[in-house]
Amino acid sequence: MFAAKSARRALALGSALVTTGVLALVSTPQPAMASGITVQATVDCSNVNFFGDTSDWYATDLWLAGIPSGGGSVPYSSATAVPATHSWRFTQTVPSGTTAVGAGGICSGGHQYDFFGSSAYASIPPGTTTVIGTWACTTAPVYPGPWQTNCTVQSVSYS
């Protein structure tokens, strides 16, 4: 009898502990799902060089990068051509906590030994959920031979 009473008490105590543990798990506030920052970027070739008016050219090798999150290539399938300006427009999401974003492409397409030069980054204020920016890219030969494209932030807005 004493053993049966002890067993019932042990089961009741175990059941209470399990219930309390489950309730504690359910009632513990869960962190909000991390949302990203939407970046709507336009990349535009904007200069005239020895081989013509590159503002009539679409950039190649589009890319987007964030600090400190990194980045990479933007597939053409996710970009929209803007015929009026011969630019590309695309939307990508960077992780929350990204403090700056840059974009670009190569505007010296067709020349031998094209490469990226530099790109300016737009700072992202805390609390921003959307960045809308335009990067203007120019290309020039670098003596003694290769061509490079450098991009600057032409305009940026936040919401």
The helix or strand, by DSSP H or E, that contains position 144, with its residue range, turns out to be: none
Task: State percent of the chain over pLDDT 90.
Answer: 48
Distance CA 65, CA 100 (A): 8
**pLDDT tens digits for 51-98?**
666 667 788 899 999 999 888 999 999 999 999 888 999 999 999 999
Q: What single-letter DSSP state applies at residue 146?
A: -
Does the pTM surpass 0.75? The reply is no
Distance CA 116, CA 110 (A): 14
